[in-house]
């Protein structure tokens, strides 16, 4: 009796898994999360992290006011709280400074509302932290116009100096790249569905990658009509829609 119950339970579990759709497959990932420096090959930030920063810039509840220091000092006001937009008041027609202390070692993007002089300084060594990437921002309805990415070390106090700026004011939105990474899957046949080979990045993905997966035939040309979105054709001996069965 116990054996029959176990068999019945096993059958029910199997049916449940089939009903839930395709199971997660082991992935071959070429970009790992948690890199200490901006990943090689990253030439621009992806739309996901920029959209996230724009949400904070456009939400009044996310804004915090700071009066920037007239000198570069580690005692300047902090802008370290995550997911905030900082409205800085700068000294008249001059540079102003704030501080940033990252909680995790990695790459950080500093979005801003004006493309004006911007410098990140290690407060312990006084060394300037060069931007690993800089680019203009173009997002409809977003006040952010420029961003630079800097590789920072956890627990270190960094001085962020910027200005002069128009109106003696500027808004900064700091973002940790690891918080906005997206997994993209290689789509060799261009049908909109990828294989298990993937990249995990906040940067613009390589050409030929998609956010959808579970393509059971990603062979260029011949596999383009075989994917989870295809219609199953009965009697052709092919699993057209990649559901694991043929009709």
Nearest-angstrom CA–CA distance, 228 and 242: 5
Please, what's the b/e burial string for 132-154 (b: 16 or more CB within 10 A of its CB; e: otherwise)? Answer: bbeeebebeebbbebbbbbbbee
Calculate the average pLDDT of the chain. Answer: 87
Nearest-angstrom CA–CA distance, 9 and 16: 11
pLDDT band for 201, please (50, 70, 90 cuts).
Answer: confident
Instruction: Decide which of 2 and 226 is more confident.
Output: 226
DSSP string, 114-155: S---EEEEETTT--B---SEEEE---TT----EEEEEEE-TT
Mean pLDDT of 188-194: 91
| The pLDDT value given to residue 240 | 86
Percent of the chain having pLDDT more than 90?
64
Domains and CATH numbers, the chain: 47-179 (2.60.120), 181-247 (no CATH)
Q: pTM of the entire structure?
A: 0.77
Query: Is it the case that residue 23 has pLDDT exceeding 60?
Result: no
What is the CB neighbour count within 10 angstroms for residue 95?
20
Mean pLDDT of 140-162: 98
| The pLDDT value given to residue 40 | 82
- Give the tens place of pLDDT for each residue, 231-240: 999 989 999 8
| The pLDDT value given to residue 35 | 53
| The pLDDT value given to residue 90 | 99
């Amino acid at each position: 009796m116990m054996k029959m119950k176990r068999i019945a339970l096993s059958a029910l579990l199997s049916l449940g898994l089939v009903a839930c759709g395709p199971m997660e497959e082991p992935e071959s990932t070429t970009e790992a999360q948690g890199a200490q420096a901006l990943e090689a090959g990253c030439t621009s930030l992806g739309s996901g992290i920029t959209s996230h920063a724009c949400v904070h810039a456009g939400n009044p509840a996310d804004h915090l006011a700071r009066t920037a220091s007239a000198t570069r000092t580690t005692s300047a006001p902090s802008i370290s709280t995550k997911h905030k937009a900082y409205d800085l008041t700068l000294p008249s027609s001059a540079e102003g400074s704030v501080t940033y202390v990252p909680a995790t070692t990695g790459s950080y993007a500093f979005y801003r509302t004006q493309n004006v002089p911007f410098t990140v300084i290690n407060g312990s060594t006084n060394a300037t932290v060069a931007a690993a990437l800089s680019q203009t921002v173009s997002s409809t309805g977003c006040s952010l116009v420029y961003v630079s990415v800097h590789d920072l070390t956890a627990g270190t106090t960094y001085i962020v100096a910027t200005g002069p700026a128009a109106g003696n004011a500027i808004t900064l939105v700091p973002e940790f790249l690891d918080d906005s990474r997206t997994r993209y899957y290689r789509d060799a046949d261009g049908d909109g569905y990828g294989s298990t080979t993937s990249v995990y990045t906040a940067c613009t993905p390589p050409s030929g990658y998609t956010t959808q997966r579970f393509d059971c035939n990603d062979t260029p040309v011949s596999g383009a009509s075989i994917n989870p979105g295809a219609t199953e054709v009965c009697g052709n001996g092919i699993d057209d829609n990649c559901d694991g069965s043929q009709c």
